[in-house]
Amino acid sequence: MERRDRKDRDQVREKEFTEKLIKLNRVSKTVKGGRRMSFSALVVVGDQKGKVGYGMGKANDVSDAIRKATEAARKAMKPVNLKGETIPHEVLGKFKSASVLLKPAAPGTGVIAGGAVRAVCDAAGIRDVLSKSLGSKNTINTVKATFDGLEHLFSAKKLSAVRGKSVNELWG
């Protein structure tokens, strides 16, 4: 009886997260007997309420690689500061030679972003944002740059607490 309850709870937990496969890459290694194929997967997982994470998984089978990446993404989930359905301010995220510019947008604008950045924003629950991917077009580095930008977002409440002033004193 108790096992069934635990299983049901896990199924409910799985439904609350959005999983997006961003990149599936087949890699081959040449060995004495020929080529040995394996797969690497990049997955983004989010609850569409401000928590998002990404993960990489490698395996000899596609489904195992995706499963490993999904587990890694769930472990690496981090909160994102949002202002309604957009981001609080403009930010530039960088990772190696990839840069991603994220700008807040008016309600109803939608997610104006490329493939990898769009997947991250959708999983995080960001509905209105403008973005531009600069520099490298490498998908993995672009995702990491997007996460760097999202980590550097701050809310007015956090800023006022750090400076020891009220929100009205800062913006009023």
What is the C-alpha to C-alpha distance for residues 95 and 171, in angstroms, rounded to an integer?
31
- E-state strands within 32-77: 34-46, 51-59
What is the C-alpha to C-alpha distance for residues 9 and 21, in angstroms, rounded to an integer?
24
CATH number for the domain that contains residue 128: 3.30.230.10
Tens digits of residue pLDDT in 75-110: 999 999 998 899 999 999 999 999 999 999 999 999
Tens digits of residue pLDDT in 35-68: 999 999 999 999 999 999 999 999 999 999 999 9
In a domain, residue 162? The reply is no
pTM of the predicted model as reported, rounded to 2 decimal places: 0.85
**What does DSSP assign to residue 48?**
S
CATH number for the domain that contains residue 68: 3.30.160.20
Total domain count, the chain = 2
Q: Which amino acid is it at 78?
A: K
Tens digits of residue pLDDT in 122-161: 999 999 999 999 999 999 999 999 999 999 998 777 777 8
